[in-house]
Amino acid sequence: MIIYIIGMGPGSPDLWTAAARKALKVSTVLIGDKRMLSNVCTTGKKVWYSVKPSEIHRIIDEVREREPAAAILVSGDAGFFSLANHLGPFPGCTVKRCCGISSLVYFAAQLQMPWQDAFVISRHGRNESVIHAVFMHQKVFCLTGGDNPAERLCRELSGAGLGGVRVYVGENLSYPAENITSGTASELASYHFESLAVVMILNAAIRPPDRPVCGLDDALFQRGAVPMTKQEIRAVAIAKLQPRADAVIYDIGAGTGSCSVELALQAPWGRVYSFEVQEDALVLLAKNKERFGTENMIIIAGKAPNTMSGTEKPDFAFIGGTKGNAAAIMDMIYRKNYACRIVLTAIAIETLAAVTAYYADKKEYTLDITQVSVAASRMSGPYHMMTGRNPVFIIRADYISVKKEI
């Protein structure tokens, strides 16, 4: 059986390619959603309405011995945030992809602007950071949907000091009801757009973000009376952690959120789970998340490890506070991902002793222990005097095979 995966463009039949029309004509089985199939001639063909990969595979298994060709219809282009990328292989079948006109290509044409320099992200079912993207790129294209409509993106941009960037929102592209709205992020933040809209954002005043790689000024965070990991310790701890840009990261004992914010900025395409039990700290966590526009921070209220079971497995974990549950927390982390890299901070000798004892019989892990002593200047009359702070132990635990790869 030949299986054609056909990119149907943004919607209008006027935008179907000749290759797509040919594949539709020779296919005796058609699979897709009602919107796409409504414009296709189905006379003499077997039709299934489905966009679920498991159902599509079941349908193919049913008909593969009886039918010569099947067409799976996907919106836009088959290689651009497409259902096609979730279908997997079809053993024993010949699969051919027919490219289509993606929403990016169509929208850029409607705006009469080139798109080869656009940075592409998706907020359709994802929490990628539009703020980070706009800080770093002059032109950003974003897919929206679900809990992330276009107006929410505009509010996020406005809250991060990017309210003046130019935003174009496209709705119902290629259909008679097509609508394109233009304005600044601040102007469009109060609008209501269709759930499945596309957004082009232009930042004419592109500049490197006024944020260091790690080690933000303590004064930038709202902190109240909640203890906060200081700038110098954060910088060293994050350098030890070395998170990937797309990593899933746990911050346990998140406190004010200073580490969570920095980790979220370090991993703009990943997610940071901020675990915290104290009510006043949870308030500050939310405020600092909003202040820095780190939408990829997910705040989890409650005591770890009890609140960790329902979250996805971590690639990296930073532990700044355990409430005496260090061993149980690390057990839970390793149950989820035995190769997770963990970095802990400790002030008390007893905490250091507890951590080293935990790893004493775990020969598959190696420990790297650093003690950081910081002294900061203060004015005493006309003089700068140095005041020492508590030494902090920074402990990094690596799964041995991971360490060898690095």
Classify residue 207: in a domain, yes or no: no
Residue 403 pLDDT > 90: no
pLDDT value of residue 404 = 46
> Do residues 17 and 36 both lie within one domain?
yes
Q: What is the pLDDT of residue 146?
A: 85
Is there a domain that residue 137 lies in?
A: yes
Q: How many domains, in total, are found in the chain? A: 3
Location of structure tokens 């990094």: 396
Across the chain, what does the average pLDDT equal?
A: 92
Residue 211: closest CA among 270, 159, 264, 249:
264
For residues 75 and 8, membership in a common domain is answered with yes
In a domain? residue 39: yes
| 130 and 150 both lie in a single domain | yes
Strand boundaries in 185-330, DSSP class E: 197-202, 248-252, 271-276, 297-301, 316-319
Shared-domain flag, residues 30 and 97: yes
Task: List the beta bridge partners of residue 397.
Answer: 342, 367
**Does 262 lie in the same domain as 125?**
no
The domain that holds 77 is classified in CATH as 3.40.1010.10
Same domain as 388, residue 320: yes
Judge if 223 and 273 occupy the same domain.
Answer: yes
pLDDT digits 0-9 by tens, 64-117: 999 999 999 999 999 999 999 999 999 999 999 999 999 999 999 999 999 999
pLDDT tens profile 49-72 = 999 999 999 999 999 999 999 999
Alpha carbons 161 and 183: distance in angstroms, whole number:
16
Split at pLDDT 50, 70, 90, the class of 210 is: low
Q: What percent of the chain has pLDDT over 90?
A: 80
**Could you tell me if residue 239 is inside a domain?**
yes
**Residue ranges making up the domain that contains 129:** 104-202
What angle, 0 to 180 degrees and rounded to 10, lies between the N-to-C axes of helices 349-359 and 326-336?
Answer: 40
Q: Do 168 and 282 sit in the same domain of this protein? A: no
Residue 209 included in any domain: no
% of the chain exceeding 70 in pLDDT: 97
Q: Do 264 and 308 lie in a common domain?
A: yes
Per-residue confidence (pLDDT) for residue 214, from 0 to 100: 80
Let me know whether 364 and 291 are in one domain. yes
Binning pLDDT at 50, 70 and 90, where does residue 207 land?
Answer: low
- Quote the CA–CA distance of 209 and 89 in Å, as a whole number: 42
Whether 109 and 184 map to the same domain: the answer is yes
Q: Does the pLDDT at position 275 exceed 50?
A: yes
What average pLDDT score do residues 120-124 get?
A: 90
Long-range (24+ apart) CB contacts under 8 A made by 167-170 are: 167/199, 167/200, 167/201, 167/202, 168/107, 168/111, 168/199, 168/200, 168/201, 168/202, 169/193, 169/197, 169/198, 169/199, 170/103, 170/107, 170/110, 170/197, 170/198, 170/199, 170/200
Domain's final residue, options 101, 135, 164: 101
On the question of pLDDT at 263 being above 80, the answer is yes
Residue 166: CATH number of its domain: 3.30.950.10
CATH number reported for the structural domain that contains residue 265 in this entry = 3.40.50.150
Residues 389, 282 share a domain:
yes
Is the full-model pTM beyond 0.75? no
